[in-house]
Amino acid sequence: MNTPTAAGIDQVMLNFSPASLQILNAILAVVMFSIAIDLKPDDFKKLVRAPKPLLTGMFSQFVVLPTLTFFMILATTPQPSIALGLILVAACPGGNISNFITHRAGGNAALSVSMTAFATVGAILLTPFNIAFWGSLYGPTREILQKTSIDPVSVAITVGFMLVLPLCLGVLLNIKRPDITTRLRTPLQYLSMGIFVAFVVLALAANWALFLQFATAVAALVLLHNALALCGGYATATLMGLSAFDRRAVMIETGIQNSGLGLILIFGFFSGLGGMAVVAAFWGIWHLISGIALAGLMARAEAVR
């Protein structure tokens, strides 16, 4: 999959100022908070009593997807920074829009929200582990990791403050003041998603020429990667005997990745390395298109029944 367009991508560094990074951190914290105000302790108790769907989703997210990603990289041999970008995206927890898409698709939205919450907490350890483990197994990406001063503890702290802290605050507010969370829930979710999409577009605008130059080098790989993620999630849920209601949630949670977190890690720890940043940015655009289109198809199929 090496092309002339991709040849120089490993030497390109995208521009992203420290101030922009802090704004993106804050936006993702607000997005996570908007998910958390949907959660109550009872939601977690139900999953403890019947944990199979949640455990299946976590397994699909943090084991199946990184494994499929690694074999895809072996088969396609992309440029090293593109390969590491794919590994990093696969190591991130599910994206927050998965909850909205699952609801639209007629899947188990409560399970989707809970998977996002548990995967976010698990990401403190599992995201840096998967980046280091799978990245070290492939020679070209191992070289990038060896040249990069990435501290798993720093990654864990970044994930914790940006995702886990607002998650806990959102659940706490829902317990103490459900009247406030009821009023905030819908407008905050739409507002946070709108701000996030607008910010990613503005961030890309500063690097638009580079993004357009290299987007074609990653487009086919990102589409294939996203398709593998969705199919892997569906196959895992099917093999585990989950209902169609739960299968949709697991499939979408596996196929919608937190590319915003990916961008923060790339700019924070990899200096905006070209291939990684373009992969994460393209993922952020494409998984919205594929997820919403898939939800529309599923909702239509459900209506026909």
Residue 8 lies in a domain: no
**Region 122-138 average pLDDT:** 90
Could you tell me which residue, 29 or 1, shows the higher pLDDT?
Answer: 29
pLDDT at 63: 96
Give yes or no for residue 57 having a pLDDT over 80: yes
Q: pLDDT value at position 58?
A: 93
Q: Is there a domain that residue 33 lies in?
A: yes
Average pLDDT over residues 261-281: 79
Q: How confident is the model at residue 160 (pLDDT cuts 50, 70, 90)?
A: confident
- The 10 Å Cβ neighbour count of residue 271 is 14
List Cβ neighbours of 156 (8 Å cut-off, separation of 6 or more).
124, 125, 127, 128
Residue 160: which CATH number? 1.20.1530.20
- Does the residue 9 lie in any domain? no
Q: Give 221-237 pLDDT, tens digit per residue.
A: 999 999 999 999 999 99
Integer Cα distance of 294 and 174 in angstroms: 31
Of the pLDDT bands very low, low, confident and very high (cuts 50, 70, 90), residue 4 is very low
Query: What is the model's pLDDT at position 15?
Result: 57
pLDDT of residue 278: 82
Output the pLDDT for position 179.
Answer: 82
pLDDT of residue 206: 61
- In the predicted structure, residue 3 carries a pLDDT above the cut 60: no
**Mean pLDDT score, 140-147:** 86
Q: Which residues contact 149 (CB under 8 A, 6 or more apart)?
A: 269
The pLDDT value given to residue 86: 95
What count of other Cβ atoms lies within 10 Å of the Cβ of residue 175?
12
DSSP string over 246-290? HHHHHHHHHHSB-HHHHHHHHHHHSTTBHHHHHHHHHHHHHHHHH
**Nearest alpha-carbon partner for 60 in 106, 98, 28:** 98
pLDDT of residue 299: 78
Q: What is the pLDDT of residue 208?
A: 64
**Domain region containing 53:** 15-304
Maximum distance among all alpha carbons in the chain?
Answer: 57
Determine the pLDDT at residue 1: 47
Tell me if 3 is assigned to some domain: no
Tell the residue number behind the tokens 């802290």, with chain if given. Answer: 165
pLDDT band of 125, cuts 50, 70, 90: confident
Residue at 7 is within a domain: no
Please check whether residue 57 lies inside any domain of the structure.
Answer: yes
Q: How confident is the model at residue 2 (pLDDT cuts 50, 70, 90)?
A: very low
Check residue 240 and give its pLDDT: 95
Q: State percent of the chain over pLDDT 70.
A: 81
Instruction: Provide the residue type at 152 as one letter.
Output: P
Q: What does the pLDDT average to over 297-301?
A: 80
240 lies in some domain: yes
Mean pLDDT score of the chain, rounded to an integer? 80
Give the model's confidence band at 101: pLDDT under 50 very low, under 70 low, under 90 confident, else very high.
Answer: confident
Residues above pLDDT 90, as percent of the chain: 26
Residue at 2 is within a domain: no
Number of domains within the chain: 1
Mean pLDDT of 245-270: 86
